[in-house]
């Protein structure tokens, strides 16, 4: 892995996005629209204050997962990945470049979505607002890196799109959003601990209830560990030689 090549790859991915303003608009605006709908539906109740922060972490994760898995699959099918794998570019440069580029997008997305939730929808966060933004960014980057790892397994666009329900939906079911985790059957509670989304949701639940960044440091550390693990898996599943 060479920092200059990782940075060049990140710049190239961002340049591609710059040429596609509609995708940028979708990435940033779509979570805002969804959040706005929920705020409207539960207007006058404490639902937004309670669940808003979770959604701020959840929607970007799903959006970024989809965008990244499709983007990297496009590299495979267009032959550009084969060209790069025949070049001096390291596998880590490729995965790192994508994670870096979409990380930048994730920061913008998290700031806009959190700002929209607080100032437009009137979401009231009892805990640290800065920590909400941090967890939202980390979850969005986590979505990218999971998308990178998933697209390595997918052979076709159809498979890539279905990696999202395969990898994200089970996490959604057991993450504690539908039912508090301590009320779940023990086995499911254990399974939920193996999924990264659980820690994002847990952190956001605590932040909504008034926790500070220090209180959720453990959750944040686990998310970062999953994020790094997904980058490594994404790099390992890339093959210079293909059948």
Identify the CA nearest to 10 among candidates 110, 111, 89. Answer: 89
Q: Which is nearer to another protein, 44 or 243 (CB)?
A: 243
- List residues near another protein by CB under 8 A: 4-5, 8-9, 11-12, 15-16, 19-20, 78-80, 82-89, 240-243
Q: Which residues are CB-neighbours of 239 under 8 A, at least 6 positions away?
A: 85
What is the closest distance, in whole angstroms, from the C-beta atom of residue 11 to another protein in the complex?
A: 8
Reference 145, options 104, 192, 95, 201; nearest CA is 95
Of 80 and 212, nearer to another protein (C-beta) is 80
Rounded to 5 degrees, φ, ψ at 132 are: -60, -45
Q: What's the min distance (Å) between Cβ of 23 and another protein?
A: 10
Shortest spacing between CB 75 and another protein, in angstroms: 9
User: Of 87 and 156, which CB lies nearer to another protein in the complex structure?
Assistant: 87
140 neighbors 168 (Cβ within 8 angstroms): no
Measured distance CA(117)–CA(95) in Å, rounded: 31
Nearer to another protein, 12 or 43 (CB): 12
* Nearer Cβ to another protein (69/211): 69
Q: What is the DSSP string of 163-209?
A: HHHHHHHHHHHHSSSSS-GGGS-HHHHHHHHTSHHHHHHHHHHHHHT
């Amino acid at each position: 892995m060479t920092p200059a090549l990782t940075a060049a790859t990140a710049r190239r991915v961002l340049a591609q996005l710059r040429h596609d303003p509609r995708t940028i608009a979708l990435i940033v605006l779509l979570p805002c629209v969804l959040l706005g709908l929920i705020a409207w539906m539960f207007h006058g109740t404490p639902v937004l204050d309670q669940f808003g922060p979770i959604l701020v972490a959840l929607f970007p994760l799903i959006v970024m997962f989809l965008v990244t898995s499709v983007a990297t699959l496009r590299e495979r099918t267009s032959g550009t990945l084969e060209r790069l794998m025949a070049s001096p570019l390291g596998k880590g440069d490729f995965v790192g470049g994508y994670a870096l580029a979409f990380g930048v997008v994730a920061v913008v997305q998290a700031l806009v979505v959190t700002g929209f939730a607080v100032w437009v929808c009137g979401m009231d966060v009892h805990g640290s607002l800065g920590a909400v933004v941090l967890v939202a960014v980390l979850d969005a980057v986590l979505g990218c890196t999971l998308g990178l790892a998933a697209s390595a397994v997918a052979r076709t666009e159809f498979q890539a799109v279905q990696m999202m329900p395969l990898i994200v939906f089970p996490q959604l079911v057991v993450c504690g959003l539908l039912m508090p985790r301590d009320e779940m059957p023990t086995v499911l509670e254990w399974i939920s601990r193996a999924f990264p989304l659980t820690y994002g949701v847990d952190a956001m639940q605590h932040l909504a209830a008034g926790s500070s960044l220090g209180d959720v440091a453990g959750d944040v550390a686990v998310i970062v560990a999953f994020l790094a693990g997904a980058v490594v898996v994404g790099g390992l599943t890339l093959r210079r030689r293909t059948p």
